[in-house]
Structure 1
Amino acid sequence: MAAPLAAGRPARAQGQPHELEPLALPVKQDDSVARGYRRDVLVRWGDRVTFDAPRWTPRTPDPDAVAAQFGWDARVAGIAVPQQPAADGVARAILAVLHPGVDPRMAFPGGQDQPAAAAAMQGASLLNLERQRGRWVVVDGGYQSRRLGGSTLCRLQGAGGGAVRGLLGLAGGCVTPWGTLLLAEGDPAFWQARLGALDPAFADGSGFGYVAELNPFDPQAVPVKRGALGRFAHGDVAATLGRDGRAVVYLTDRRVGGFLFRYVSSGPATPEEGLAAGSLFVARLQDDRLSWVLLPPGAAAGPVVAAQQAGGTPFDTPSGLGLDPMGPRLLLACHGSPGRPAGHVIELSPDGGDDTAAGATARLLFAAGDPRSPQARYGGAGLPPGSAWPENPDTVTVDARGRAWIGTDRGGRIGAQAEGLFACDLAGPGRGVPLPIYGAPRGASVGGAAFTPDGEALFTAVRHPGAEPGASFDRPGTRWPEFQAGVPPRSTLLGLSRLAGGPVGG
């Protein structure tokens, strides 16, 4: 696996430093919020997404009912903004939230799996957002609100083509500069075994493990699984444009020793054909230089094997991806490995500022974990005393002011502190020093972040609260967010904002 990088100096000094202060994140049944901020509960597991969704009945889940409700798990993928403002002047957007998994012991009474309900609980929710009276809100039962899951009809482009029913195990996603939404499927093997008895198509599995593309503003749009981007167990996906207008898509292979891939389209990026044909590359890292190795034609059918043969660099479970909107720069969150269990975040700056370039400069943003550990590295000054530290970074987002926001995920394992969402400057004295804005309740992880166009609201997701080792539907580690007897804990979409108003992070 790739050796740790030198911290190095940033390629450019830019961005507005964040205002967050050191904050401890104690393990507790409730969550924690930084001073000067508020958090609002927006949507919870079981809340309706579509206008016709029935009332949530967690003890008797019906597949048809849960297919219209917010899923059991949650991870924020991104916000899509209309290219043309609305005639009524109201600011609107579509927020995409993934539902990667369904844990039977926490989702169903007695821990008895209900595969048909699980297939409907997973997938994705597309939610209408509006700015009302100075605040961004989720529109209940909005026109473009939509649920995608195990019964969603899709089209497979390439790899034999044809119709495919279902999106399974969505692990990552993003909004593209050409106005579409990308949804990346993870490892289909788990779902194959779980759902194979329901439908032979699930047992076959050949229609899963792809990146699907759709128009988020069209509630009737059929997701297209793009075979040219490769079939493997994705961790995340991030899309941008090359200087010549071609589509560039970065993809992570979320395994210990997984690879970082790049797709470059053959022609200009368009919603219809930008991802229909192109070339796949794998990253090869040596010291602080990353080079993109072109994979041979046909590699999309088995990119992991092709990457091994091409000498691609194995990373420490490459997971989250974040592109800097202020300039060509990619952040890669590596979840960790047995050799470096706490993980780290890498900054990649493409040569010449062009994402289609043959190489990039690679620098360590920070190495996560207890700051007393010899492996942990936090900027030049180190982590301030009394503050929580990130461990197992899993998601990363870069805001319009050039600051990274990193979500951590230990999979429910209880540690010395709660999981958190951390802000980290990419330049200046605070570079590489992550400070928390939010701490999750016991047993929960943080599932990504996305910002409204004005930067005044940050959406994040609390994943599987109470799902610590040994917990169950009836005996969870917490009953957050309601704290009502008999009501199970619920994955929840949150909105974070400054009490004084203005952009999140200052």
Structure 2
Amino acid sequence: MIGRRALLAAGTAVLAAPALALDLGPLALPVKQDDTVAPGHRRDVLMRWGDRVTFDAPRWTPRTPDPDAVAAQFGWDARVLGIAVPQQPAADGVPRAILAVAHPDVDPAMAFPGGQDQPAAAAAMQGASLLNVERQAGRWVVVDGGYQNRRLGISTLCRVSGGGAVRGVLGIRGGCVTPWGTLLLAEGDPGFWQGRLGGLDPAIADGVGYGFVVELNPFDPQSVPVKRRALGRFAHGDVAAALSRDGRAVVYMTDRRAGGFLLRFVSAGPASADRALDAGTLFAARLEGGRLSWIPLPEGAPLPEAAQGAGGTTFDTPSGLGLDPMGPRLLLACHGSPARPSGHVIELSADGGDDGAAGAAARLLFAAGDPRGPQGRYGEAGLPPGSAWPENPDTVTVDARGRAWIGTDRLGRIGMRAEGLYACDLAGPGRGVPLPAYGAPRGASIGGAALTPDGETLFFGIRHPGAEPGANFDRPGTRWPEFEAGVPPRSVLAGLTRVGSGPVGG
């Protein structure tokens, strides 16, 4: 496991523009059936489980789910992956983009009446949604029935690089938009779904067509997703993409297990929209003190075994990845392990400002958990009195103002605080001090975040509200967001904005 004490001792300087002070103060995040929003901000519900994604999606009928119907609707779960902005502005001057949202899981107890699993419907509820978003009357909204709206799922035909085809994307847990204009989707452990869905299709039962990084053009609703064999096959947690100084594609990947690895792929040639990831070299991260080095792995070797054989460092459930758009800095959210149950966030700065370099400086951004105990450690100033603190960081996004947005996930466990979305400066006096901007309703967790180009709307996912231990479809922990009798709680794509105008967080 990672030596946190060594990271704390590392004083390596980090490339960073001076951060502006966050306009967020101490905020308690009480556990309740409703959510909590930081003062001066507003939360809007943009999409919910069952809302239509494609123009021909039928009305949501949660008590009688039809696989063909739910395959066109927003999925049961919600994890924001990234936002793709067109290179050329629209002729009418309206700012537009494509927002990618994953639907990683479907809990039968919460998704189906009586808790009786319906595998065909579950297979259709998972996958991903691509959504047209645009700025209307000063607000970013999802375009209902937008022509680029698309649902990806178990019936989506995919090509496998190097030859062959497979039907379906399965258990997408992470993703990102690449500098060369594509979208990457990271499939998780196919074993979770094999037993559940194997009776539907022998190809799912053997699982060999799943567990890949999938690439597609988000702006072309007819594009065929490609499963990139060169990036390896394993249980992904997240991916982040960059360019090396000489123009090669660089893809960082997490192996989301307790004792999992951080991996990197560097392409053999210059990045391009159609063949950036056809060939290249895989590396495993080795962390020693405040230094990280990239160890090349044998071509074609199975993962994650090859990373272990090469002496890669094991991490405390490496999960979310976030690249700083202002410089070669990567944040890694580690969910936690038995040794360090609350998790932490690590900051990596590539040598020479080059994501293709052989090494990076490493130091701890913060260690999550109760600041009064042995786990939590938050910058030089520490958390302000009365503020909630993060536990089990799972997703991380870095905005253009040099701030990290961290989402927590305790897997539905009810604790002293609600799950939260936290903002954290990466430089200045607030470095390493995460301040809460939002608290999720009871049983929910935070599913990733992405900011609009103007920084005035933060899209984020609110996952599985009411799904606490012992809860079910008919007796959830909350009925958020509708609070209507008989209507189950629904995962949500939300937008966080400042009251009035201005960038989120100040």
- 1:68 is paired with a residue whose SS is coil
Partner residue, 2:173 = 171
Match of 2:189, as an amino acid?
A: D
Partner residue, 2:14 = 11
Match of 1:246, as an amino acid?
A: R
Partner residue, 1:53 = 57
Once superposed, which parts of structure 1, at least 4 consecutive aligned residues long, lie more than 4 Å away? 7-10
Partner residue, 1:219 = 221
RMSD: 0.8
Give per-residue Cα distances to partners, 1:461-485, cap 9 Å, x unaligned: 1000000000000000000000000
Partner residue, 1:193 = 195
Match of 1:39, as an amino acid?
A: R
Partner residue, 2:349 = 349
Partner residue, 2:410 = 410
Cα deviation for residue 218 of structure 1 reads 0.3
Partner residue, 1:117 = 121
Q: Give the structure-1-normalised TM-score.
A: 0.98
Confirm whether residue 71 of structure 1 aligns to residue 71 of structure 2: no
Checking the alignment, whether the CA contact within 8 Å between 2:402 and 2:425 is kept in structure 1 is yes
Structure 2 gaps of 5+ residues are none
- How many pairs were matched up? 502
Checking the alignment, whether the CA contact within 8 Å between 2:16 and 2:402 is kept in structure 1 is no
Give per-residue Cα distances to partners, 1:201-243, cap 9 Å, x unaligned: 1001100000000000000111000000010000000000000
Choose the corresponding residue for 1:146, options 132, 145, 150.
150
Partner residue, 2:255 = 253
Partner residue, 1:265 = 267
Partner residue, 1:95 = 99
- 1:40 and 1:115 mapped to 2: Cα distance? 32
Partner residue, 1:479 = 479
Cα deviation for residue 90 of structure 1 reads 1.0
1:303-314 alignment, distance < 5 Å: 303-314=303-314
Checking the alignment, whether the CA contact within 8 Å between 1:13 and 1:428 is kept in structure 2 is no
| Residues 307 and 56 of structure 1: CA distance in aligned 2, closer, same or farther (over 3 Å) | same
Partner residue, 2:111 = 107
Choose the corresponding residue for 1:129, options 109, 133, 147.
133
Checking the alignment, whether the CA contact within 8 Å between 1:7 and 1:364 is kept in structure 2 is no
- 1:6 is paired with a residue whose SS is helix
Structure 1 gaps of 5+ residues are none
Match of 2:360, as an amino acid?
A: A
Give per-residue Cα distances to partners, 1:309-336, cap 9 Å, x unaligned: 0000000000000000111000000000
Cα deviation for residue 8 of structure 1 reads 4.5
Partner residue, 1:375 = 375
- 2:388 is paired with a residue whose SS is coil
Partner residue, 1:498 = 498
Cα deviation for residue 122 of structure 1 reads 0.2
Partner residue, 1:466 = 466
Partner residue, 1:244 = 246
- 1:216 is paired with a residue whose SS is coil
Give per-residue Cα distances to partners, 1:304-359, cap 9 Å, x unaligned: 11011000000000000000011100000000000000000000001000001000
Choose the corresponding residue for 2:87, options 79, 83, 98.
83
Partner residue, 2:298 = 296
Confirm whether residue 340 of structure 1 aligns to residue 340 of structure 2: yes
Q: Give the structure-2-normalised TM-score.
A: 0.98
| Residues 406 and 7 of structure 1: CA distance in aligned 2, closer, same or farther (over 3 Å) | farther
Checking the alignment, whether the CA contact within 8 Å between 1:17 and 1:403 is kept in structure 2 is no
Identical aligned pairs, as a percentage?
80
Partner residue, 1:26 = 30
Checking the alignment, whether the CA contact within 8 Å between 1:69 and 1:147 is kept in structure 2 is yes
| Residues 250 and 13 of structure 1: CA distance in aligned 2, closer, same or farther (over 3 Å) | closer
Give per-residue Cα distances to partners, 1:436-490, cap 9 Å, x unaligned: 1000000000001100010010000100000000000000000000000000000
Match of 1:279, as an amino acid?
A: T
- 2:304 is paired with a residue whose SS is helix
Confirm whether residue 283 of structure 1 aligns to residue 285 of structure 2: yes
Checking the alignment, whether the CA contact within 8 Å between 1:228 and 1:275 is kept in structure 2 is yes
Match of 1:263, as an amino acid?
A: F
Partner residue, 2:237 = 235
- 2:366 and 2:132 mapped to 1: Cα distance? 35
